[in-house]
Amino acid sequence: MNATGVIVEYNPFHNGHAFHLEQAKKVSGADTVIAVMSGNFLQRGEPALVSKWKRAEMALKFGADILFELPYQFAVQQADIFASGAVSILEAAGCRSLCFGSESGNMESFHQTLSFLEEHNPVYQERVRLHLDSGFSYPKATSMAFLDLRPEDELVDLSKPNNILGFQYLRAASTQKSSMKLFTIARKSAGYHDEQFSSDSIASATSIRKALFSENGEIEYIRQYVPESTYQGLLQYREEFGGFHYWEQYWPFLKYRLVHLQPEELRGIYEMEEGLEHRFLAAAIQADSFQQFMEKIKTKRYTWTRLQRACIHILTNTKKTDMPNKPIKAKYLRLLGMSKNGREYLNRHKSDLQLPLISRISSQAVQQLHLDIKASRVYAMAIDGELQRTLLQKEFKQPPIMIN
């Protein structure tokens, strides 16, 4: 069986994702799609709208065949580490190809850009440091450094979010000497950060989430932008757990953590640079909401995303010693779900997998999954009473989801 891989968050799964899955099979010639999906907390430092189990179910009902969880160690990270972990999982799962969405839609341009930056790497890194020293954030500094090199027109625009991720996938595959062939598909209609609907059927996940919360969780407003399975899945989740997850629910827990931490303790948290801890501690006392808190700590040097990731790490008590300081490979394959076709693929290729396959949490797996388990415990705190226990127990009792 021929598998292609996709790297996703599905927050939530929408029509653009369905198009991506369809095109991934088409351009790669694969008969199986393996998705690596972030868990309950996401790359931009946000809680997922609904749990990883519900998001996996939505994806399996509309074209994905196997869902592996991207471990917390990689999921709540900057783009290069995020990409490194995800690419290593797809390689270990036996994917022959990787297919990603981009604003460019031209794979040759990505290869040319990688060669260009490798050729000019010393100058590029020097320009990055110069812009960082001028007070710009790391993403802005890298984008400015790239433009400083006067790239040719046929190179990829690395100021675009999906182009950035796609470039990091290619670089990770190159660094890891992956055997996968990479394909890219141009994004349709909606941009990654678009907050407004601009099409009759395709919308960004950002605009879908904004519509959900601006309309008090009324799902009818987004129905035309998501498959029916997503629409029904969101209804079911809201009915079961009383609503969706968003940052303000976690603000009391974050504030409690911050007002009880000493500066030296906060400095030990991952993504906390020296001096930033004082800004966090002062803002926590003054702010009455997460939005207010973020507005008080935001600076030109630190992106909103970077600061949100630091907040997640504070909530989960993730220390600098818990996380990699450079891109590394994943150590296991955490199976969230599979279709009938996906089950056949795993039955055929189980002995060929390059990493241990975890489908249930055993005593041995607990040690490997300790960061993921902590993240799931924190994620469940947004739910009240017995329902919190119900959501948390899924981490230990939920078998891989099966969709026929």
Does 19 belong to an annotated binding site?
yes
Helices (DSSP H) in 242-339: which residue ranges?
247-260, 263-267, 276-286, 290-297, 304-315
Does 325 belong to an annotated binding site?
no
- Sequence-ordered list of residues with C-beta below 8 angstroms from that of 291, at least 6 positions apart, any chain: 247, 248
What is the pLDDT, as a whole number, of residue 152? 76
- Hey, what are 120's tokens? 């000019």
Does 20 belong to an annotated binding site?
yes
Does 11 belong to an annotated binding site?
yes
107-119 and 121-133 helices, crossing angle to 10°? 80
Does 93 belong to an annotated binding site?
no
Alpha carbon distance 229, 227 (integer Å): 5
Alpha carbon distance 224, 243 (integer Å): 20
Given a cut of 50, the residues of the chain with pLDDT beneath it are 190, 192
What is the pLDDT, as a whole number, of residue 84? 96
What dihedral do alpha carbons 96, 101, 105, 106 form, nearest 10°?
A: -40
Alpha carbon distance 157, 106 (integer Å): 11
Any idea what the Cα angle at residue 358 is, between residues 43 and 12, rounded to 5°?
35
What is the pLDDT, as a whole number, of residue 404? 83
Does 106 belong to an annotated binding site?
no
Q: Give the DSSP per-residue string, 276-296.
A: HHHHHHHHHHH-SSHHHHHHH
What domains are defined for the chain? 3-103+185-244+330-403 (3.40.50), 119-159 (no CATH), 247-322 (no CATH)
Encode 252-267: b = buried (16+ Cβ within 10 Å), e = exposed. eebbebbeebeeeebb
Are 316 and 378 contacting, i.e. CB atoms less than 8 angstroms apart?
A: yes
Amino acid at 267: R
Are 40 and 250 contacting, i.e. CB atoms less than 8 angstroms apart?
A: no
Are 198 and 190 contacting, i.e. CB atoms less than 8 angstroms apart?
A: yes
Does 248 belong to an annotated binding site?
no
Instruction: Supply φ then ψ for residue 298, to 5 degrees.
Output: -65, 135
Instruction: Give Cα 226 to chain centroid, integer Å.
Output: 19
Does 13 belong to an annotated binding site?
yes
Does 47 belong to an annotated binding site?
no
Does 162 belong to an annotated binding site?
yes
Are 263 and 281 contacting, i.e. CB atoms less than 8 angstroms apart?
A: yes
Does 7 belong to an annotated binding site?
yes
